[in-house]
Chain A
Amino acid sequence: MRYAMVIDTLKCVGCSDCVVACQTENDVPHGYCRDWVTESVIGTYPEVEIELRSERCNHCDNTPCVRTCPTAASHVIEGGIVLVDRDLCIGCGACIESCPYDARYRHPEWGTVDKCTFCVHRVHKGQDPACVSVCPTNCMYFGDIDDANSEVSKLIAVRKYKTLAPEAGTKPQIYYLI
C-alpha cells in the first residue's frame, strides 16, 4: 500500500480552500500552514499561461527529512505517510533544512516540527484528507497508488503528470496532472 495524492492543475482555481480546510481540521496555528497554493505564470502577454498547484509535504518515498532526524521523531508509517512524533521531536530543524519543498515548520507553541500528516486521522477512518474533501473543483484525489484500480493510479496512467523537483531525488508522492 502506498498513499499518494493526485492534483489536477487544469481544474485547480487557486482558491486556497485546501489551505484553510487544513487549518481548521488540524488546528494549524494562525500564520502557519501545512499546505499552500503556488501560481506559476509562464509566458508574456498575451501568450500567458498559469499553473496553479496546491502544495504540501510530498510524503516522499526517499525521505531526507527522516534520514537527517537525530531522534527518529520523523518517521514513515504504513502507506508511506511521513509523520513527526511530537514526543520525540527536539525541534532541531534538521528535517526542515533537508526538505526541498519547505514543507515543514516549527510549531510556535510546541517548538516541535509540524507538517502535513496526509490527515492520517481521517484516512484511518476511511475518509479523504480534509483538503481533498473540501476542494470545490474536485481537483484533488487521494488513494493507494499501489492499487492499479484506485482513482489515483488510473489518473496517472492516462494523464500527463509531473512531480515537484524530481531531481532532488526524494521520489515525491504528490502527482500534478498537467
Chain B
Amino acid sequence: MIPFQISGSEEVFISGRNIPHIDPHLTLWEFPISLYLFLGGLSAGILFFSAVVHLINKEDEFKGAAKWAPIVVPFALSIGLLALVYDLGNPFYSWRLYTTIRLESPMSWGAWVLLIVTPLSILWVMTYIRELFPVIKYENYKMPFLYKVEELAVKYKKYMALALLPLTIILGIYTGILLSAFNARPLWNNAILGPLFLVSGLSTAAATIILFAKSHHERQWFSKIDILLIVIEIGLIIHLIMGYYAGNEMQIEALDVLMNGEFTTMFFGLLVVLGLLVPLILEVFELAGFKVPVIIPAILILIGGLIFRILMVEAGQLSRILY
C-alpha cells in the first residue's frame, strides 16, 4: 500500500501496486539519461561555436573553439549514445529507431539528428586533426579511403558548417524538448525547457572552450559569452519558476519538489549557487582583472550543467498529473 496525499484527502493503492521504477513514483529514467542529455547539449554547443568560428573565419583567433574543443564531441556523443542505449530496456533492438521516422516523437527526432550529427562531428574533427597531431599519419593505417573522406570533408567544410548551425540548434533544443514533450510530467511540460536546455548546453560548451582556449584573448571572449549565457539561463530559470507559481495546482505541486522537497538543496546549493552564481561571479571578477584560475568557473559550470539535467530528469518524474 503506497499512500500519497492529495489536497488533504487520503489516496491509496489497495491492490498492492508497487511496480519497480513506476511506484511509489517514476524513476524510470536515471543517471544515464541525464548524462545523455548533458553530453548532447554540450556537444551541440561546442559544434555550434566551432561552426560559427569557422564561418566567420576566426579559426586562428579562436583555436580552442574551432579545433581543440570539438575533439571532445565524437567521444561525448558516443558516450551519450551508449548511455542512452544502456538505459533502454531492449538495447539490442535499438536499430528499430531507424526503421521509422516519427515526427511527433522527440525521441525519434533525437535519434535521427544524432545519426547525422555524430558522423558530421567526426568528419569535422577529421578536417584538421592531422594539423593538430602531426603524428597521425593515415598511411600507417593502410586505409586509403580515409584520405578520400578527409579530402571531401575539407573540401565541403563550409557546407558542413552551414549544416551544423541548424543541426546543433535542433540537437540543443531537442535535449530540452525531449522532456517538455511529456504532458504527463508537469515539471517538464513547459515550452521554456527547450531554449533553457539550449542555453545551458551552450554555456557548458563555452566553459569547455575556456578550458581548451589557447589564448587569453579567446578565454576572455568566451568568458563574456558565458556570462551572457549564464545571465540568460538564470533569467529563464526564474521565468520557469514564476510560470509554475502562476500555474495550476499540479504545476505548483511539481515545483514543490524543487523549491521545498527532496531536491531543494540540490537545486539551490548545487545548481543555483555552485553551478551558476559562483562561476558567474568568478568570471565577472576575472574580466575585471582579478586573478582567478579559469579552470574553476569552467568546471563548476560543467558540473552545474550535469546537475541541472539530473535535477530536471529526476524531479520531473516525481511530478505527476493529479487525479
Residues of A within 8 A of B (CB): 14, 16, 19, 31-33, 35-43, 52, 64, 67-73, 88-94, 96-100, 102, 105-108, 110-113, 164-165, 167-169
**B323 within 8 Å of A by Cβ?**
yes
Verify if B26 is at the interface (C-beta below 8 Å from A).
yes
Contact A90 B88 (CB under 8 A): yes
A31 near B18: Cβ-Cβ < 8 Å: yes
Tell me how many residue pairs across A and B have CB atoms closer than 8 Å.
155
Q: Which of A14, A71, A98, A99 contacts B14 (CB 8 A)?
A: A14
Chain A contact residues: helix, strand, loop or mixed: loop
User: Which of A35, A64, A70, A99 is close to B107, meaning CB atoms less than 8 Å apart?
Assistant: A70
Q: Are B184 and A98 in contact (CB under 8 A)?
A: yes
Asked if B184 and A36 sit within 8 Å, CB to CB, the answer is no
Residues of B in contact with A, size category: 35 or more
Selected contact of A41 from candidates B11, B183, B185, B321, CB within 8 Å: B11
Interface contact B88-A91, CB-CB below 8 Å: yes
Which 8 interchain pairs have the tightest Cβ spacing?
A91-B89, A111-B89, A70-B108, A70-B107, A100-B184, A16-B15, A165-B323, A111-B90
Within the complex, which residue of B12, B26, B183 is in contact with A39, where a contact is CB–CB below 8 Å?
B12
0/1 per residue, B54-86, Cβ < 8 Å to A? 000000000000000000000000000000000
Known contacts A96-B28, A97-B182, A165-B322: does B14 contact A37 (CB below 8 Å)?
A: yes
What is the CA–CA distance of A112 and B89 in the complex, to the nearest angstrom? Answer: 6
Is B265 interfacial (CB-CB < 8 Å)? Answer: no
Contact (Cβ within 8 A) A70 B10: no
Q: A168 and B184: CB pair below 8 A?
A: yes
B17 touches A33 (CB 8 A): yes
Answer whether residue B142 sits at the interface, using C-beta atoms and an 8 A cutoff.
no
User: Is A169 within 8 A of B22, CB to CB?
Assistant: no
Among the interface residues A52, A64, A73, A100, which one has the most CB atoms of the partner chain B within 10 A? A100
